[in-house]
Amino acid sequence: MSFVIAKSTGPGRPKDLEKRAAILQAAKRLFTTQGFDGTSMDAIASAAGVSKLTVYSHFQDKERLFVAAVECVCQEQMPAEIFLADLKGPIRRQMLTIARAFFSLITSEEALAVHRTIVANAQQSPKLAQLFWEAGPKRTQEGFEAFLRDEVKAGKLEIADTHRAASQFFCLLKGECHARMEFGCGEPLTAREIDEHLNATVDLFLRAYSPRQ
């Protein structure tokens, strides 16, 4: 007796992955330019070149698709690997890598547009704001907290509250520049000014939390 093994029709096949990627790319573009409320699942399906049913089969609703799009952007610019502590290498070098990736992410036009949308609709859509926080800022902070804990265990840092320290680091990185960009005022920083800002922030953080002699 012979058996015929049917090919899987579930998600995970190359075509399914291609469609999922196309949907995410379309969602990222439309959420950025049209906002959450101004973006429909029909529009995303059309931009991705798939049916609306296909969009719903990958992402059950628009909120989940929004979260996936935010996670995708964060993963692209700040992959999980960036927070793996290299205990044999200089901590300053790795912190600068994290700082550059974070600053590049938050000052991109896409990130600024989404952030403005969230802030503008925070009172009307508190659930959306919470979803954004968990998919983006919270994920990033938790990754950096894990990095700090590993460095503390290795004796390279001395931090009693890694959650607070991680929050301080990202707030310092945002600084005046991010606030000005959000408001649309002031000239953008030059590459040299950004480099000076990032180096100064990392040095300040390390002076505060390096082990006392």
Q: Which of 56-70, 88-102, 107-121 has the lowest mean pLDDT?
A: 107-121
Give domain 78-209's CATH superfamily: Tetracycline Repressor, domain 2 (1.10.357.10)
How does pLDDT run across 159-196, given as a tens digit for each residue? 999 999 999 999 999 999 888 888 888 788 899 999 99
Rounded mean pLDDT, 112-133: 83
In contact, 121 and 36? CB cutoff 8 Å: yes
Task: Find out if CATH 3.30.1360.120 is the number for domain 14-69.
Answer: no
Contacts of 14 (CB under 8 A, 6+ apart): none
Q: What is the pTM of this model?
A: 0.82
Kindly list the domain boundaries of the chain, sorted by start residue: 14-69, 78-209
Task: Select the highest-mean-pLDDT range: 8-12, 121-125, 146-150.
Answer: 146-150
Task: Give the per-residue pLDDT at 11.
Answer: 52
| Burial class of 63 by CB neighbour count within 10 A (0 to 12, 13 to 18, 19+) | middle
State the distance between the two ends of the chain, measured CA to CA, in whole angstroms: 76
